[in-house]
Amino acid sequence: MLKFAQRRAAQNVAFDMTPMIDCTFQLVVFFLLTLNFSTEEQSELIHLPQSELAKPPERSVDNSVVLQITARGQVLYNGDFLAPGALLAPLNREKELIETQKNQSVANATVILRADQDAKTGVVQEVIQLCQKVGFEKFVLRAKSDLREKPS
């Protein structure tokens, strides 16, 4: 007669999750590093005016300072809402950063202004004057392109 082997009691099997966690972590890091952060400089509070002359930038600006002006006349800079008059100190810090860490002239840096369509022109002019007082010379005004077709 055939003897059957006795069944052994089932043992607890533990899966090693380390490789799976490692792969997941590497994927998270990869996607964070390849994420496009250009949208971080844009606030949902700002509704850009439309313009027929607006066109996408031909090339990205390497050394830039982004200032966003809300409809209420506040300036959004690095996540903080500031009155235009309070912008002078942060602009001076930005100037020092450009000149010391990046070894460039502040005159070569570009100030990107994103003003809400309902922002007062006087506030935009005041912000530009403050930037010029610090030494910035290049300015870019952002607008949405008007994609509607012109009537013939």
pLDDT in tens, 6-22: 666 667 778 888 999 99
* pLDDT number for residue 128: 92
Share of the chain above pLDDT 90, in %: 20
Confidence of residue 54 (pLDDT cuts 50, 70, 90): low
Q: Does the pLDDT of residue 39 top 50, yes or no?
A: no
Please provide the DSSP assignment of the chain as one string.
Answer: -PPPPPPPPPPP-----HHHHHHHHHHHHHHHHH--GGGGG--TT--PPEESS----SS--SSEEEEEE-TTS-EEETTEEE-GGGGHHHHHHHHHHHHHTS---GGGSEEEEEE-TTS-HHHHHHHHHHHHHHT--EEEE--EE--SPPP-
Domain residue ranges in the chain: 40-145
Q: How far apart are CA 126 and CA 140, in angstroms?
A: 15
Confidence of residue 145 (pLDDT cuts 50, 70, 90): low
Q: How far apart are CA 54 and CA 108, in angstroms?
A: 23
